A and B are shown apart, each in its own frame.
Chain A
């Protein structure tokens, strides 16, 4: 009786209360599931240093929103370069990657992995494999690289599909022998596709040249830092006209005159 009267008069209503409780519990549950999945999602975001995405892969963040982990790129890779990530491999579970030191990308002209991708996680705008940026090679072992010790190995340079563009040999004086040259392999970021053939080919047990995902390999210009010569080109004139030209400092022996003398 008390219940029915309270229904009419408002106030406590067990049915309504139960319904509200259920909705509240459901909300809590939904938020919990969302948080759980979101946590898992963010855990799998950073790409570890040794793992490379297939050619045309979107940036890691966009890639996570696009890759459905179907493995079609893996299936259409003729060299079995690509594989799907197992738990603990590093990349998000089930997403495609490759290890350059094991099987590098052979840079197929027709890029079958990109063509196979149904979602565009591998960007279909990539039609020239030389424009792929899977990562960037870095000479991480400057101390162990045979060339850097004055020997002529040159293997990374020779296997590079973009020889003399992505890797060049820079000749400097060999101070150790003072009679020979050092042929330093230098990677040029504007041409390196990150295929990993150099890393695969390095003759050392522990490779001296490694391909690293772009986000790790490259920095970015600070957007607040404006380089005068570029701004001048963009504007077609000097940004500050009639800038004061301070007198150049001439080479001179260092002077100690500014250091105060310590009384003895």
Chain B
């Protein structure tokens, strides 16, 4: 059986995550190579603003009767949805129809796509703006009067860049392809990133923008001085980065290997040129709007507004990943979609849907080495029979868990960093694999792995074996798949040497084992079957 089929079938049959951590570091690579290479990692974020209808994106044909009953005017018939193999995963055909290279289905088959079902947060708000602020800030505040003024990435980058904005990095740390900087990139130190749409124009216009006058001293109580300083920094960045962006764009624009189609793909084209030209930006942000489909979301031929939007999204992602593959930077790319909420389970009679709560999320990567593709959900979820008081789907995964995959696994944050960013601990979902990790500073491989977890699946016995190179704190914790901590097995300072921990897990089911050493947290799946 091919590995991909194995994953998806398991997903349908059990709890829906990739079973084994396949990462074995079997290739001959030095520890040094593993170190400090995180800086090559690039994150693409596509916000689907308005609230994407998750149920018509990934269609719940495992609950066919209920789906048809709740969506009399707005269901996608089974023959118009596209099934992945013989699994429970049915995709909206807009994600595939006419899309480059077989669309999202091809990404699924090649293990580069993860579909996360049941993503959301406690006490969901049905307001676009509040919910969007919650997603952008990474703070779930139930008090609507609490202003959310900083973003999750903004806070993380502000932590890294101590002297910002007095010292700004040589390359923009993040680029928004929209006219504005989204909340997720804002911080108390200012905007962590720049926005641009047309790199050539950006350059032509950037020259000579640095103001002749100096900034005022901070902090200041004067409103005028505060705003003056804010504008001053943007002006300085505009000039400084216009040069960097031009150089990268000029170098990279002719390296494009794919004919990008219209709409969102054109933004991907710009990103591809910049990366090909050597820009060292870590995060690219795009927004696709008009998901707020209260009316006329679908035409009678099952295409229409929502289909068109998904098609736009899929074209962008698939054209870009193929281009990246051909150009040779695919293994640096990881991407995710976000949307402030899903939509109401029952349609509203205007051939549309009202605001909902939990929904689905795509994560993708240019290389299957860095992502465990598959269908991530808790067994039997989303349950169209088990709705909240407003008849919306319940979430199983807090959205900060996939954020944390990105932060800890892809952008080099330590568990402590991510706790600072979110104000709480969220276990990464374990979708992404680290390119290289600082565990190799502390760990010598055991049978080609960092930590050997065996047997797996197990009838209850759990052994964790590893070799510590030098003195370090090691924390080993057992978590449920929905991210609740069940037990702390170990939290101690250990001298170098070989270790083998033995535990017994009583209840059958699927678990995550989180092992933290140095500043890195590694997630291992562990399954108990009897």
**Do these two chains really belong together in a complex?**
no
Question: Could you list which residues of chain A lie within 8 angstroms of chain B, going by C-beta atoms?
Answer: none
